Chains A and B, each alone.
Chain A
Amino acid sequence: MTNGWIDIKNTDMMLIMGGNPAENHPCGFKWAIEAKIQRNAKTIVVDPRLTRTAATADLYLQIRAGADIAFLGGVINYALDNNRIARDYLVNYTNAGFIIKEGFKLPDDGLYSGFDPETKMYDKSSWNYEEGGDLSGKAVLPTPSGQNARATHVQGSDTGQGHQGASPAGAKAGASPVPLLPSKVAFDLSLQHPRCVFQLLKKQYERYTPEMVERITGIPQDQFLKAADLYTSIRKDGDMKKVSTIIYAVGWTQHSFGTQIIRTAAMLQMLMGNVGRAGGGVNALRGHSNIQGATDMAGVFDTLPGYLKMPNPNDVDLATYLKRITPISSKPDPWNSFNYWSNTPKFTVSLLKALYGPAATKDNDWAFHYLPKIDRNYSWVNIWNDMYEGKIKGLFAFGMNGVMIGPDSTKNIEALKKADWLVVCEIYPDETSEFWRAPGISADDQKKINTTVYRLPGAGFAEKDGSFTNSARWLQWKQIALPPPGEARLDQDILAMIYLKVRELYQKEGGKFADPVLNATFAYTNPYAPSLAEVAKEVSGKALADITDPKTNQTIKSGQQVPGFAWLKDDGTTACGNWIYSGSWTEAGAMIQRRGTEDPSGLGIYPNWAWSWPANRRVLYNRASCDLNGKPWDSSRRQVWWDEGKQLWVGNDIPDFKPDSAPKDHMGPFIMNPEGIGRLFVPLGGMADGPFPEHYEPIESPIANPLHPNQSNNPVVKKYKTEFDKYGTADQGFNVICTTYRLTEHYHYWTKNNPMNVQLVPEPFVEVPAELADRMGVHGGERVKVTSARSHYIAKAMVTRRIRPMKIDGKEMFQIGLPIHWGFRGIAEDEGKTAKTLANQLTPTVIDPNAFTPEFKGFLVKIEKA
């Protein structure tokens, strides 16, 4: 979330799409209700089903799963056509006026410039800004660009901080010179230049007419126009007082173009001037208690804590690595850019000091080579794919039920059969630890499965302390209520036990490159039962020598906690496990344990409740809540503002900005981008599949893409090649669109063990449109069989009029819906009340090229009476 849960109450308009917060985040959804009651805010819900969120909406539209970019692109087109845009914001806080290099081509045929059909990758050198100066009002052919410009490597993606923040370690990294961003960008603040981002954007989305939206999404034009008009109505006549928010979840992420859907939303919000403002933003709901934290802490292959990039083999030393990953600002010459990532070396060296302590010295590049170097994709589906292909011998699954999660659970089970060993830490018996006796595997078959499985009883949430980071980026500590039952142990004790035992073996026997194993710091008071409070302090960071701030003369003594990331050094005098969490546990105590309930501004900021990254800022990019002069766009929702007397940014929230940068300096509010502005156009390596989002069909789609039938799918998406990776087509009879989701009564694959939740929804079911059920001759409660190219699923039908037949590109089509919660171990399963099929046995192995998230939504099936 750029904003936060409570902040939703400040909004005037909500677009909820790709998420179902009433069902999946009910207690957060109260703030949407609060906005309705307190502000008469309106809600537009766009979803393949009439969900419980839609039940409370002012306007509900049924969309085909996977058509979201078409819808949002259509709204962008509408906003541009009807001047429902925030002109000043757009010109000054986004790259709308930046000139793009000649040679860049929009995807009229489905392909941007630079596509290589052989590698299915783009040469992105034309996706770049033109170097130059002010071309405002000079809408003529620009002068050729200079030859010796200072340039930089592009970083990350756009404004998103979550999932999509990391770019892949390109397989071709280093193979050819990496193109760079110009340090001085040519610009046209009149937005007239034919190659300025704004004009390209207009051209890109003028193709997304209401007719086209209807053909792709199945939403009738009149309904679409109603929604587009309502959503953009807050910006009528350019009035900046009102604000709207976009709320989404994995209904957007889980597509083979998921990141681009989210980008489309971010672009719409920037066009309308909604980012950085109370009641605005682009708000990823995140689905689990600590996956925001896991993303922050680099629980994913391609990052290190705090969104630092993993090194690749071309990073021959730390300096090379830092040069590659540290951006240099790139902006119009008269403007300023804070370019906060320029501090990357401080964050990196402090991380290495935290990980390796005294073993990280200047002489050994702060132990840089203790870290593995990666140059290919090691993400989730590749774990299963590569395990199936025999590359992975051993797997740890700590609270992660990979068989249920899929995609293509059958393939995951087959992969586990090929592993030597599997260590599962769980609190309930789960499908992953019992893959070897999954339905269909006979006792004889089991005898042929040679995987050794250790199942270790872990601790439940109430039995552990530690912090979770919620989707509003709040870190909150929880207390221990009771000890784990039986012989169950705390997860950190289990991990420490295993790691220290491995270390002991390396100490005794030696082995391959033992240095990192031996030298990683584990100097907790009891290393075998690491205190999470001690770990949290290590994450927040401390001084390793006396350090002094030259400006204020304040000194932090050696051994003391640092107050925040501004104190981190690249000379080994500070250690910090995650720079964005720096300041979460200071000498003043555990900021993440604070329980201050005061909210003086009434905006729901609660500055003294727990702590949010970065630096306790509650709304990201909040400089953008003010006009060019530093005055809030809306004086009734004042977050931060420029104090002329103090010559400082001050306010109710912590300014997400350089505190002493006066408005006249024209520093951009998006301080994490080297340009300082929000990116409508993502240059160079930011995105794998295009600088603007383009609608592509899901990998399994019932129609050819109406925009460009010859390039129907996302061109950079690759299919997998094991015998399990089959992809279905409508011609083969897979002509029903299927989507998967959670119910409010259940939580993933966990509450199937909870008798209360099982009582609420006892059995798996399939939601089937009444018209389709009629044709099949199926009544509610009768069993149906849903079959994809990969497998089948059997459950009772819930016949409903909440999903209606649709016209997609002129053809009548049906969508069905599948809750994901049932497997082959659970209360209902063990009582024999289910067919023990898994929803994710149906889903295809295919991933978004930016975030590597599988396409769980919008695949093709057939459905019949079982």
Chain B
Amino acid sequence: MSDRKTLQIQRMSAHPGPIPGTGVQRDVQVCKLVDTTTCIGCKACEVACVEWNDMPFGATTFDNTYQTMPETRWNFWNLIKFNEHPREDGTVQWLMRKDQCMHCADPGCLAACPADGAIVQYTNGIVDFNQENCIGCEYCVSGCPFNIPKLNPGTKKVYKCTLCSDRVGEGLEPACIKACPTGCLKFGTKDDMKFIAEERAKQLRDNFGMEKAGVYDPESIGGTHVIYVLHDATDPERYGGLPKNPTIPWSYTVWKWLFKPVLGAFALFGGLGVLLHYVTVGPRRPQPEPPNKEGTNGNGD
């Protein structure tokens, strides 16, 4: 593994001391662009993800929707969310959005994680989980504003989209990006993706009568390494619960800020953090109900 470039870590969960290897190599910030206006909900990205990562197949049940399952799973990291949005004239706008880890610039999962090196952020912006280091505490789950990380009850480890860090590390695009038939998914540097996204949004406003078209790259978490072009950027919630202003629970940011300099007592602080989180946010479970269970997905109510 030393004979080729590995991804360089820029941030690491609960790590005492300096981050190994920082500053050794420079890197570009990578980004996925998801243009929901050209997404056809074909699920090629879902399959490409499962296939590339050799994930085992799970059972699903028909739930009055084209959506494969209500939310991502530990072994299903990429999910198209289908939503039938009623228009004023009584017609329906059928929205499809690829849901997956957003690879936040300021990752809530990483901030919440008490296990040394279980979550890392590479200098290219990818947020990756190292299951070897994961202790299965699931703080990342509640730290995520997008409901993405999921526990495998068998291994007691948490999993999520890696942004195909293995492929990206070898100079390849992520599997979902490569598969996408319409090109609604694109991959490149964050600057390029941002530029293309803004251009596309402008085209939608100027030529296709979508006055509210815009780009989703929420500032509240420092931006994301997965950005969306939306028909209506003023209402991201309609795309299967995309939060307008995603935030990390403050309890996680606070304990890190308070105790990070004190390295040796990490485990204790971890415990404190949990307590603090429990007090401020509440118990970890149950998870918020996924929106489609409430009937906004596919059943037209």
Interface set of A (CB-CB < 8 Å, partner B): 22-23, 26-27, 29-30, 33-34, 36-37, 40, 50, 52-56, 58, 60, 744-745, 755-756, 758-763, 765, 770, 779-781, 796-802, 804
Q: Can you identify 7 A-B contacts, CB atoms within 8 angstroms?
A: A26-B42, A52-B40, A744-B42, A755-B57, A762-B60, A796-B62, A802-B84
- Contact mask for chain B residues 160-182; partner A; CB cutoff 8 A; 1 contact, 0 none: 00000000000000000000011
A754 to B64, CA, bound (A): 22
Given contacts A29-B181, A52-B96, A762-B60, contact A22 B299 (CB under 8 A): no
A800 engages B47 (CB within 8 Å): no
Assembly CA distance A779 to B51 (angstroms): 34
A796 neighbours in B (Cβ, 8 Å): 62, 64
Kindly name the residue among A23, A34, A36, A58 whose own CB sees the greatest number of chain B CB atoms within 10 A: A36
* Contacts A770-B300, A780-B298; A756 near B63 (Cβ below 8 A): no
How many Å lie between the Cα of A797 and that of B84 in the bound state?
16
**What's the nearest-Cβ distance from chain A to residue B70, in Å?**
13
A781-B62, A801-B92 given; 6 more Cβ-contact pairs under 8 Å: A22-B42, A37-B200, A40-B208, A744-B40, A796-B62, A801-B84
Check: B203 CB closer than 8 A to any chain A CB. yes
Closest-CB distance, A801 to chain B (whole angstroms) = 4
* Contact indicator B64/A756 (Cβ below 8 Å): no
B12 to chain A, nearest CB (A): 34
Q: With A760-B68, A770-B300, A799-B299 as given contacts, are A765 and B62 in contact (CB-CB < 8 Å)?
A: yes
- Contact call B96/A55, Cβ cutoff below 8 A: yes
Least distance between B186 CB and chain A CB atoms (Å): 11
Chain B interface SS verdict (over half): loop
Chain B neighbourhood of A23, CB < 8 A: 40, 42
4 residue pairs, one from A and one from B, having the closest CB atoms: A780-B64, A801-B300, A26-B181, A22-B40
Q: Which residues of A contact B62 (CB under 8 A)?
A: 761-763, 765, 781, 796, 798
CA distance A797 to B298 in the complex (A): 11
Distance between Cα atoms of A745 and B65 in the complex (Å) = 13
Most interface-central of B57, B64, B68, B93 (chain A CB within 10 A): B64
Alpha-carbon gap, A765 to B90, bound state (A): 24
A12 to chain B, nearest CB (A): 12
B37 within 8 A of A: yes
Q: Which of B43, B90, B203, B208 contacts A744 (CB 8 A)?
A: B43
Cβ 8 A contact of B47, one of A36, A55, A756, A802: A756
| Interface residue? B188 (CB, 8 A) | no
What residues on B are CB-neighbors of A800 within 8 Å?
Answer: 84, 298-300
Q: Which residues from chain B contact A804 at a C-beta distance below 8 Å? A: 90-91
Please report B residues at the A interface, Cβ cutoff 8 Å.
Answer: 37-38, 40-44, 46-47, 50-51, 57-66, 68, 84, 86, 90-96, 181-184, 200, 203, 207-208, 298-301
Which residues of chain B come closer than 8 Å to A52, judged between CB atoms? 40-42, 94, 96
Interchain CB contact under 8 A, A33 and B183: yes
Are B94 and A36 within 8 A (Cβ)?
A: no
Least CB separation from A27: chain B residue: B181
Q: How far is the CA of A54 from the CA of B51 in the complex (A)?
A: 29
Asked whether B182 lies within 8 Å of A55 as measured between CB atoms, the reply is: no
In the complex, A102 Cα to B275 Cα: how many Å?
95
Contacts of B60 in A (CB 8 A): 759-760, 762
Q: How far is the CA of A755 from the CA of B64 in the complex (A)?
A: 20
- Known contacts: A798-B64, A800-B84, A802-B84. The answer to whether A756 contacts B57 by CB under 8 A is yes
Chain B residues closer than 8 Å to A37, beta-carbon distance: 38, 200, 203
Partner of A26, one of B40, B50, B93: B40
The chain B residue sitting closest to A745, CB to CB, is: B43
Q: Which residues of chain A are near B66, meaning CB under 8 Å?
A: 761
* Cβ A29 vs Cβ B182 within 8 A: yes
| Nearest-Cβ distance from residue A61 to partner chain B, whole angstroms | 10
